[in-house]
Amino acid sequence: MSATSGQDKFGEARFWDKVAGQRVYAAFDQSEYEAVIDRCLGTDLSGKSIIDIGSASGVSAALFAARGGKVVGVDISPELVSQAKSLWQEYADRIDFMVGDAEKLDLADHSADVVFFGGVLHHFPVRDKVYDEAIRVLRSGGRFIAIEPNRLDVFELIEWAVADLRGKLAPSEYPIDPQVMRQDLIARGLSDVLFWTTRNDIPVLNQFPVLRHFFSRQRGFRLKRPILRFVDAFRAPEARGTFFVIQGVKR
For the chain, list the strands marked E by DSSP.
49-53, 70-75, 95-99, 112-118, 138-149, 190-198, 243-250
Which structural domains are found in the chain, ordered by start?
9-151+173-199+241-250 (3.40.50.150)
Work out the average pLDDT over 210-232.
Answer: 90
Position 3 pLDDT exceeds 60: no
Work out the average pLDDT over 105-128.
Answer: 96
Position 4 pLDDT exceeds 50: yes
CA 201, 154, 247, 128 torsion: positive or negative?
negative
State if pTM tops 0.85.
yes
Quote the longest CA-to-CA distance of the chain: 50
Work out the average pLDDT over 117-138.
Answer: 96
Position 30 pLDDT exceeds 60: yes
Position 2 pLDDT exceeds 60: no
> From the CB of residue 89, how many other CB atoms can be counted at a distance below 10 Å?
9
